[in-house]
Structure 1
Amino acid sequence: MDDEIQLISDGDGLAVVGDPAAVERFLVSEGLPSEDLGLQRLGSVLSAGAGVAQAGSEIAANSGRWVKLTKESAQLVQKHGLRRSSKTGLSTGALKGSHGQIKGFVEFAKGPGTLLTNPAVLAGAAGIMAQLAMQQAMDEITDYLATIDKKLDDVLRAQQDAVLADMIGVDFVIEEAMTIREQVGRVSEVTWSKIQATTMTIARTQAYALRQLDALAEKTERAAKIGELAKSTKDAELKVQEWLAVLARCFQLQDAIAVLELDRVLDASPDELDRHRLALRAARNNRLDLISRSTEHLMARMDAAAGTANNKVLLHPTNSREVVQSSNHVANTIVDFHGRLGIERDRQSCD
């Protein structure tokens, strides 16, 4: 009997759906690590109507695995020529084979009875994929914060400003909601009501941290003498990682809220799930662009400072060396931060 593997990519991840044994053989043959997609959660997106029982039984019989879209898995999408929908932004298709051996590509439209031809199930699967991608991004930020000598909690608690102090409470509320979600398997109206007011606090804290980074850039830009430049770049070296840590935590909490929000929409208004997923993706990209512009501006000021110092190294060797060292430290810190958030940029250190 032929195996059929159904594939769906949203640009961040790849879902592989089909008979559990066939899915496992396919992933092993391609050498791809994966995690459970959680197809069983899609029962809630099915409303009364013809074919619902069949779709429900297909969900129960099929396995779904999720693969982060890396360079290798992205090549897999290209290799099998998935078809992209301009409406949903999803690339989809099915592969036919026998005992894990791929015979060829088959469009969903040509394969009646295929699980993901059900629009509600496809939207639900895409919603879960978005959640998995954001949860992995959250884990990567957790790893990033763990590498910082000065813990984020220490940074927040040392601040007298009410904006940053409020973040501690928001952190607790969202962590509690994520724990309840993990235990219960859904986001109830009660749980959702607890976190709705947290978004403004996170946005306010993010704006505050961005202003602090902009202030460091402006201070460096205003420095007229090499001594002033050495002081401003040293201040930036001491402070920039703290503010990047605050930004990273804000971004992580915003992703957590989006995960909870998708669960709430899946439960309460499943017909709006696809539009909501796309809206959340656009909002997330906007936040990345905002953070990127601010950090890129600071990096440009550091590069300019290093260039100025190199031009004055003969007259001011000590200060010039300090400026270059601080500038490179700040720039490398920002590059690492960009990598953790998925902001790509190539840079060479100044000598």
Structure 2
Amino acid sequence: MSNEEIEVVSDAHGVAVLGERDAVDKFLSSKDLTSKVMPLERLKPATSTGAAALQAGAELSANYGRWVKLSAESSKVFKTTDLMKGSSSDLARAVVMKDGKISSLLEIVTKPTAVLSNPALLAGVGGIMAQYAMQQTMDEITDYLKVIDEKVDDVLRAQNDTVLADLDGVGMLIDDAMVVWEQVGHVGDTTWSKIDSNAKTIATTQSYALRALDALAEKLEKKSKMGELAKTSREVESKVNQWLVVLVRCFQLQDGMSVLELDHVLNAAPEVLEKHRAGLAISRQRRLAQITDTTEKLLERISAVAQVANSKVLLHPRSSGDVVRATNAVSSVVVEFQSRLGIDSAYGVLESKKWTKAVAEVRDKVSDAGSDGLKNIKQFGDDTKNRALDKAEGVAASIAENIRKSRETDSHDAPDAIEK
């Protein structure tokens, strides 16, 4: 490959930029893109024997690579929709022709270099890209756990269930395997044998956490009295956060398992690496779909409960406000959790209806109803009409008096006596 060219490989999560070090670094620097060095030496097991392998190996040794997370900004730079399809339907490739200067315009080439034309090496690049994407998600999850100020190990150990205790141990094993992998440079049979049975524990715990979230939502739905609903809402608020921590830890550990698994396959059976990578991607998407389904249903139920609480604010102003505040807190936590996993949510927070607003709505309805009613009673004579007017005025006066008292006490809610 000429030093005037850089190769680009793209998938759904990131872009690999390959070429001579100076060309790659200069290009990425000019576009102000954050990137990570790709250890291309790990692809050597993917080369076979013979002249083609020697050529590919030589190209591999001469190349340097960096990985860029796919975002709105990087997508514009690389124009990934114009990339030529690679050996897999979800890999694309192209070459940036520089002509002595940096250009972000991608020109499709008919004779790509050995790295791009060798299916095994291209699959290896795709494998490393998948690893980097999952590691990026793992790092973001770690940051997320810090933001919500929850130490995952403390949450897990606080649970008495054996399943969660097992997950704690799985996390330690995977963390240890990651350290060994970084030190040795590959995942050998010894390292893999220590963790290859962990997938079942992670899957079992994820299923357990999803069912726990479903149970919390059902518990809210079963409460009809506002006092009980307010109490249950506060309990659900704390427990949902804990189960989301467990769930996000499961997702993080499964990504860690997949990262190590890809490296193990690259060394043990490089000829099936591409199919294995595709299979792991499908499996990951299914897990994400399960999480999306459960959390969206949770948000849907929470939204319904909040709306019910708002509809009862006239007689239960304090309890109604407590329910809306608690459900909004849960919704915010769930939506933040979803965003960390790349899930888009259609749900937001619901504004708690003020008691005075509810009173005003009732007053308007009374006034409208009275006006309509008077039109219909004209036929009964003046006495009947006057009695109806007196009744309507009495209701309106009562409402106005309650509003006045509420304002005098600087309260936005009704007197405590109403909450019964």
Could you tell me the TM-score, scaled by structure 2's length? 0.80
What are the superposed Cα offsets for residues 246-265 of structure 1, whole Å, 9 maximum, x if unpaired?
00111110000000100010
Q: Specify the code of the residue in structure 1 equivalent to 2:59.
A: E
Which residues of structure 2 form unaligned runs of 5+? 352-420
Larger CA Rg, structure 1 vs 2: 2
Deviation, 1:42, is: 0.9
Aligned 8 A contact 2:177 2:191 in 1: yes
Aligned 8 A contact 1:306 1:323 in 2: yes
Aligned 8 A contact 2:87 2:119 in 1: no
Q: How does 1:1-351 map to 2 (within 5 A)?
A: 3-78=4-79, 81-84=82-85, 87-102=88-103, 105-108=106-109, 110-351=110-351
| Closer, same or farther: CA 101–225 of 1 in aligned 2, 3 Å | same
Aligned to 2:330, the other structure's residue is in SS state: helix
Which residues of structure 1 form unaligned runs of 5+? none
Q: Specify the code of the residue in structure 2 equivalent to 1:277.
A: R
Q: Specify the code of the residue in structure 2 equivalent to 1:97.
A: K
Aligned to 1:51, the other structure's residue is in SS state: helix
Q: Specify the code of the residue in structure 1 equivalent to 2:22.
A: A
Question: Comparing both chains, which one has the higher relative contact order based on Cα–Cα distances under 8 Å and sequence gaps of 6 or more?
Answer: 1
Could you tell me the TM-score, scaled by structure 1's length? 0.96
Aligned to 1:102, the other structure's residue is in SS state: coil
Q: Specify the code of the residue in structure 2 equivalent to 1:122.
A: L
Deviation, 1:349, is: 1.2
| Closer, same or farther: CA 310–103 of 1 in aligned 2, 3 Å | closer
Q: Specify the code of the residue in structure 1 equivalent to 2:71.
A: T
What are the superposed Cα offsets for residues 52-92 of structure 1, whole Å, 9 maximum, x if unpaired?
11211111111101000011112223277212358431121
Q: Which moved more, 1:50-59 or 1:331-340?
A: 50-59
Aligned 8 A contact 1:2 1:99 in 2: no
What are the superposed Cα offsets for residues 267-287 of structure 1, whole Å, 9 maximum, x if unpaired?
011010111111101100111
Deviation, 1:99, is: 3.3
Aligned 8 A contact 1:88 1:274 in 2: no
| Closer, same or farther: CA 112–89 of 1 in aligned 2, 3 Å | closer
Tell me the distance in 2 between the aligned counterparts of 1:205 and 1:11. Answer: 28
Aligned 8 A contact 1:94 1:106 in 2: yes
Supply the RMSD in Å over aligned alpha carbons. 1.6
Q: Specify the code of the residue in structure 2 equivalent to 1:105.
A: L
Q: Specify the code of the residue in structure 1 equivalent to 2:157.
A: R
What are the superposed Cα offsets for residues 13-60 of structure 1, whole Å, 9 maximum, x if unpaired?
001111111111211222211110111111111011222112111111
Tell me the distance in 1 between the aligned counterparts of 2:308 and 2:79. Answer: 46
Aligned 8 A contact 1:12 1:69 in 2: yes
Tell me the distance in 1 between the aligned counterparts of 2:176 and 2:286. Answer: 27
Tell me the distance in 1 between the aligned counterparts of 2:158 and 2:88. Answer: 47
Deviation, 1:228, is: 2.4
| Closer, same or farther: CA 79–318 of 1 in aligned 2, 3 Å | same
Aligned to 1:98, the other structure's residue is in SS state: coil
Aligned 8 A contact 1:17 1:65 in 2: yes
What are the superposed Cα offsets for residues 192-237 of structure 1, whole Å, 9 maximum, x if unpaired?
1110111111111111111110000111111122222212221110
Tell me the distance in 1 between the aligned counterparts of 2:79 and 2:100. Answer: 22
